[in-house]
Amino acid sequence: MKKEEIPQDDGALNNLTKEVVYAVDKDGNYTTELSTGWNVKSKALDVAWDDIAQRIENARQKVLNNQASPILYFIELRLMDIGIVAAYTGFWKWTIKRHLNPSVFKKLPQKKLQRYADAFNVSVEELKTMNVHDD
């Protein structure tokens, strides 16, 4: 792509950052330039964020229907997986899977709940109720 052809479309990250792209200058040499975005990439990101929002809502519904514990909701909300939660909490993966069961979660002691709350950057009360107050 030539330097003059670098896309400068408005995108989701336009106000936050610019992307470095490679282009060919007038002498035919490769150089780096900044791009504010590209429509195709923005649309792909929008689709991905819509998918994430749907996964979060599905997890929330499972918790409300007593099919999963709030841990599932926060795993989706914080874009984590069980391996990442295990690394943050120090719990074994199989333990976290067990804690996804609502009846097991309800019996967890305060100390274990606090480890999850710290991993998800919420209070224990927010962990239990899924009422998150992000600042």
What residue ranges of the chain are covered by domains with CATH 1.10.260?
A: 48-129
Query: What is the block-wise mean pLDDT of the chain (135 residues), using blocks of 10 residues?
Result: 72 71 86 80 86 97 98 98 98 98 98 98 96 72
Amino acid 110: pLDDT: 98
Here the contacts of 46-52 (C-beta below 8 Å, separation 24 or greater) are 46/12, 49/12, 52/76, 52/79
What global pTM score does this model have?
0.77
Amino acid 85: pLDDT: 98
- The DSSP output letter for 101 is S
Amino acid 12: pLDDT: 62
Instruction: Classify domain 48-129 by CATH number.
Output: 1.10.260
Determine the residue type at 12: A
Amino acid 14: pLDDT: 66
| Burial tier of 76 (Cβ tally within 10 Å: 0-12, 13-18, 19+) | buried
